[in-house]
Amino acid sequence: MSSVMHPDLDIAPEIAKALAERRAIVALESTIIAHGMSYPDNLRIAREIEAIIRKAGAIPATIAILNGRLKVGLTEAELQHLARSHEIAKASVRDLPVLVAAGGDGATTVASTMRIAAMAGLRIFATGGIGGVHRGAELSGDVSADLTELARSPVAVVSAGAKAILDLPRTLEMLETLSVPVIGYGCDEFPAFYSRSSGLRLTARADTPGQLARMLAARWRLDGGGVLIANPIPTPDEIPAALIETQIRGAVSRAAADGVAGKDVTPYLLARLRDLTAGASQRANVALVLNNARIAAQTAVALAAHGQQH
Ligand code: PSU
Ligand code: MN
C-alpha cells in the first residue's frame, strides 16, 4: 500500500489509513528535530508535538528522507535515528532528487516538507517559523525556498510567522509578490516569531479553525498553492522584541564575520541566538511550535468536517 501512490513515497500504514478515511492529519518537518535541538531534548519535544496533535483529534505525520525514500510518518526507530544521528543533511526541495538518487538521509525543511506532504495528499502542516528573505539579502541574495514552495504546493503552513532572524518586511513583500495568502490567526499583525507583534499589518484574519478551513478550501478551489497561517506565540512565552532584536543583530554580524552562507545560515543563527539568550530563544521556539501543532490539528479537523459537507 505504501508505495502505490508514487514510486519514491513511503506512507506509513497509520497515515495511509487516515487518508483513506479522510481523517485529519498534520504534517511535521524534521529539520527541527535533526538540526534545531540536541538529543534527547529533540526526541522528547517531537513526541510532545505528536501528543498534542493526537489530543486535538488529528494524526501526526513526520516527514523525512531515509535511505532515499520520501517518508510520510515515521516508526519509533526512524524517529530515534533522526534525533540521534549527526549525519542527517538539511534537505530543501532541490536536495530531494540528489538524496533519492543516492539513497541518502535528509531532514526536511518547510519547503521540502510541503512538497512531500502535497505528494501524499496532506494539506495541513505545523512548524515553528518559515524561512524567508534574510537580512542583507540585497547583497547576498539569500531567500529561502520556503517562499517559492508556498507559492506552489497546496499546503497550509501553521507558523508563528517567519523566523525573526530574517528581514520580516521584505519576507512579507515577497509573499505578496508570490500571491501567497497570509492569514493572521486571532491577530492583525504579522507575528515576529519570538514576540507577538512586528508592526507589519496583515490583510487577512481568522479567529476560529472553521474560518481557517473555509479560507483554505476557497484557496484550493480558486487556484492552488500554499497558505501561510500566522499564529502568534502565546503571551506568557514571548521574548520582548527589543531584547531579542539586540541578540539577533549580534548573531547576524557574527555570521557575516564567520563567512557563513547558504543553507548553514539559519541553523547557525538559531544556535548562536540560543547561546546569546542562555536558552531562552529555544524555550520560546518550543512553546510556539506546540501552540502551532494544536491550532494545526484543530484546523485539520475543521477541514475534514468541511470536506464531508461537500
Ligand atoms: N530550525 C532549525 N534549523 C533550520 C530550520 C529550522 O533549527 O535550519 C529550518 C526550517 O526547516 C526552515 C529552514 O524551513 O530552516 C529555512 O532554511 P533556509 O533559509 O536555508 O531555506
Ligand atoms: Mn538560504
Per-residue pLDDT of the chain (310 residues; tens, 9 = 90+): 444 579 999 999 999 999 999 999 999 999 999 999 999 999 999 999 999 999 999 999 999 999 999 999 999 999 999 999 999 999 999 999 999 999 999 999 999 999 999 999 999 999 999 999 999 999 999 999 999 999 999 999 999 999 999 999 999 999 999 999 999 999 999 999 999 999 999 999 999 999 999 999 999 999 899 999 999 999 999 999 999 999 999 999 999 999 999 999 999 999 999 999 999 999 999 999 999 999 999 999 999 998 876 5
**Nearest ligand by distance to the CA of 136:** 2
pTM metric for this prediction: 0.97
Q: Is 267 in the pocket of ligand 1 (CB under 6 A)?
A: yes
Mutate to test the pocket of ligand 1, among 38, 41, 109, 114 (most ligand atoms within 8 A of CB): 109
Per-residue pLDDT, 307: 81
Q: Is 282 in the pocket of ligand 1 (CB under 6 A)?
A: no
- Pure H helices in the chain: 13-20, 31, 41-55, 76-84, 96-102, 110-120, 137-140, 145-152, 168-177, 209-222, 241-257, 265-276, 280-309
Per-residue pLDDT, 2: 46
Q: Is 35 in the pocket of ligand 1 (CB under 6 A)?
A: yes
Per-residue pLDDT, 223: 83
Mutate to test the pocket of ligand 1, among 31, 168, 269, 274 (most ligand atoms within 8 A of CB): 31
Q: Is 115 in the pocket of ligand 1 (CB under 6 A)?
A: no
Helix (H, G, I), strand (E, B) or coil at 242: helix
Do 58 and 21 contact (CB within 8 A), yes or no? Answer: no
Q: For ligand 1, atom 19, name the residue with the nearest CA.
A: 144
Measure Cα distances from 52 to 71, 110, 133, 293, 301 in Å. Answer: 21, 20, 31, 7, 13
Q: For ligand 1, atom 16, name the residue with the nearest CA.
A: 131
Q: How many CB atoms lie within 10 A of CB 279?
A: 10
Q: Is 142 in the pocket of ligand 1 (CB under 6 A)?
A: no
3-class secondary structure per residue, 95-147? HHHHHHHHCCCEEECHHHHHHHHHHHCCCEEECCCECCEECCHHHHCCECHHH
Distance CA 113, CA 100 (A): 15
Distance CA 176, CA 183 (A): 12
Q: For ligand 1, atom 11, name the residue with the nearest CA.
A: 109
Q: For ligand 1, atom 2, name the residue with the nearest CA.
A: 36
**Residues with a known catalytic role:** 29, 163
Distance CA 288, CA 258 (A): 29
